[in-house]
Structure 1
Amino acid sequence: MKKICNYISMFILLLLAVTSCKDNDNWTIIEEAQPGTYVVGSATIFSGEASTSALKPVKLDLGDGLSETKPEIIGIYTWLKAGGEFNISVCKAVGEEPVHYGKGEVVEEVPDVISICNLSAGGPAFTVASDGLYNIIVNTSLNQVSILPVSWGIIGAATEGAWDKETPFNAPKFDATSTTVEWEMSTTLNAGEFKFRYSGNWGYEIPYDAASKVKIFTDVTGTKEGTDNVLTEGFSSMETGGANLVTNIGGQFSVYMKYDIRAGQFSARYVLTGEPIVPPAYPENLFIVGDAFQGWTPETDAEECIPVNGTPSSFWKIAYLNPGGFKFTVKLGWGGDFGIAEENADAIGEYTKGGNNINVTTPGYYLIYVNLEDNTVSVTDVNIYLFGDVNGGTWDYDEASKFTVDNAAKKITSPAFAADGNLRMCIKHPGLSDWWRAEFNIYEGKIEYRGNGGDQPAVPVKAGQKAVLDFTDGTGVIQ
């Protein structure tokens, strides 16, 4: 009887051990590797071809809020250790021995951003210079691997660096037991929008085939839309390519981010640690009205100004003004209307918000810019510029790319496009922190404004063409 009990005890212990091994996919080797591509080696947390070490289809950025996956582009976020080595392991059929690929010819190398290499069967194993989370992407058709170190930061209108620069998290902490990576920071946030981003840019283009590239995401955000896309004190799931996160109050926050390697899931939360800062309330809309424009009846004559992207206090408009006067309303009716404190003779000038009409003597096109945070009204000559591809790839205000204003014909015309590419147009004003906050384009003969939206759909044009704008009826042509 004693022997039987011993046998039973040994069997139970063996059963528990086997069950425990099967439950931990991080280190269990699949006896017969399933067809797929894996990351393996001493630099990884995986000891072989496990389900959690398999690369999976990657969401690709198509622009305009769209995304797709391609079967040839697969990837994995995982923790890698300096001092170890890793390979890309490819198993083509059940029962076949996986082929381990190492580093081949370097295709592209940007320090601390990306390394793209050809894969070489039996080549030297890959290494990394420091422990950390990495995004490993394989193009199975080109037999290439892209390796991106992931150093998260927070970016957006709500952050100290606005949309220009990430505020970095503290160094990540890896928990080998839970196979999670966590980041944290203490930072000041303003009410506004933000995302989490790495690499210092919005995505990165990697080769797709011999003639084209695809763009991977380098940001994550919440899974909801609009004002519902907020963080709470509990962890919320994050995704790539979604809408901006929003915080409705400012203050000092502790921000936390986590990646569960086994689940392949990012999440984030924040906690307000100081007094909340409630932002001032600005009108959602601003309208121009007056006999210098279309008339003094707001319900029928007022026309909407354009919000400056990510700047609730500011609006702009290009308008053809006739001799007369104008002011602003916050609705299609009277109440809350304002003009300027000064008494002016003609339109152009820098003014303080007040109760007087803005007088116009000289007819023509004007650029109007209102900043309700500073309580200022600016009226200037019109300054519109081409940006990007069509001015030869310059992403700055270039006088050679400035539009010409013809007040007699009521047309505003660009110089001839210097190169083929996508058309981008914007105004120039000292109140703007970034050119794209006040850009617009032409769609089916109409001028459409970016406002508070994301990147507008691409408008491909040819070298030598011009854009002709008519703001009196909101139309435009490319000819």
Structure 2
Amino acid sequence: MREMKNIKIFALFFMVIGLFSSCEDELDPKVPSDAVGPELLSPSGGGSYVLEKVNEDQVFATFDWTEADFKLPVVVEYALEVDVQGGDFSKRNILLSNIETPLEISVSDFNKGLLAAGFEEGTAHDIQVRVVANHELVTEPINMTVTPYFDVDSWTVIGSAVGGWNPENDQYMDYDKEAGVYRLTLDLSPGEFKFRAPNKDADNPWAFNLGLDGDPRTIFDEENVVLSDGGANIGTTGGNYTLILDVNAGTFTIIQNEAPELTDWTGVVLDAVGSGISSDNPDATADGSSWNWGNVLVADNEGAPTSSAGVYTWTWEGIILEANEGFKLRTLNGEPAPQNEIAFDLGYGALDVDNSSELVVDADGNLSVTEKGEYDITLVVDAINGDIKTVTITESAPATLYMIGGTIGGWDWAANSIEMIPVHSHENLYWKIVWMEAGTDGFKFSPVMDWGDDFGMAEDLGGGEYSFGGDNISAPVESGYYMVVVDLEAEKISVVEPEVYLIGDAVGSWDAANEAAKFTIDNANEKLSFQGTLNNAELRMYAWHSYFTDWWQSEFMIFDGNIEYRGNGGDQDRVNVDAGDYIIDLNFKNETGSVTLQ
């Protein structure tokens, strides 16, 4: 019995040995003597190359070879090998594997392969390169001399200060290996810039970018400015600068080597003067200058401009202008400004006609308007482009807008009018969700709670849209909630079914107009409702319309059971909800709402 057992063990041992031998023969077959190796067609070899980081995306060389023929049914895989000249490739230093012919190898990949093979950066190396098939059949090697570089991520300066925000505007910085920082000395135009590593993510050149930690600001000379991922743009007034970026520390230093040769308009006071400047302006005074022409009114901000990257802006918001009377814009009293010893006055020739009101006309070279009223005047001096001066005059948007009519309850201003909600950042847009009664005598709008400047419709444009005119806008066919939006600039009114949404972490998405977070219109119960599961997060809700551009510009919130609108204000106080199933009801008739955990 013992002898038979030993025989079985030995038999099993030889079976295992045979199995391994069989597997080894299949995985690594002997290369037939008539196998044909690959032949390298290009490059031809020779030459001396100094690789540079700035050229990392360029093609170093294109390797082209004939296919190897093993005379066996095997899959052929190729690799690019490197060794010192005179070496036998016994170390099997692979530059690239799993390659196909023709192979375009970039400066970056060739450099990385050399560093990985142990070739020191900054030193010229005599090397030989060959293509190998399945670690068996090889091409004749080619010789060359190559100096690799120290490889780090490329960081660039990009922005309007260097010509634009497109890839062709990337200004590559030099890496200081000893200090561990990036440096670049360059001319900056007045504008903005940021830092980015455009090649770190092949799909998104902005995946890694650094800007100011906090709000945008203009910087001249400053050390160790704190940066943050995706931070704010960095402003500059132009000139020659040295920029030093420390990616690891998240800071940069900016040194101004030479100031820009631009006119400085900081603090220069301007005024508007002429018989067209109405004495109804509270701060208007009689012109006491040598011009002795009508009234004078200094610009907002005590006459001084705001500035950004070499562009200076003066405004007169809500200035009252008389009809058919002339006026000009000038340096204070028409005299040279003490800040730069420059004087100017501007008339109709400086007007941006395309972007100004049609009521602005030429009065013998002076500016004038055909209707008395409130206007917004903007004067821009572009110091970057030779102090070009541009004037824009538009009719002032009303500070308020009211809706009135039998469709919303009656025609009594005190008892029935509804104040519209301004759309944030759009002074000519107003909105409101209102309850409308069918079969009534329509509605109109007015910037004040009175008649005179009221308006309704002229033409039904279809799709619930109307052009401005004097007729009442008709009541809807069915009673219920409607979203009313007034565009004062386009002179259009829209009346459509309301769209109200939740947004943010509470619903797990910051996508606008998300159907999963939309409120349902329940006209039978005079409310809009949302029913669903919310996460533990801040509650954010808003009304949406095709005229709008950003959801937060028509945001609102429920506080103590009342709906309060953001309008033109800042962020509203936050309301947090715990995770759970909720019903949120909104009653826009009485401006109330509720958030109920189920």
> With CA pairs under 8 Å and 6+ residues apart, which has the higher RCO, 1 or 2?
1
In terms of fraction of residues, the more helix-rich structure is 2
TM-score for the superposition, normalised by structure 1: 0.50
Report which of the two structures shows the higher radius of gyration computed on alpha carbons. Answer: 2
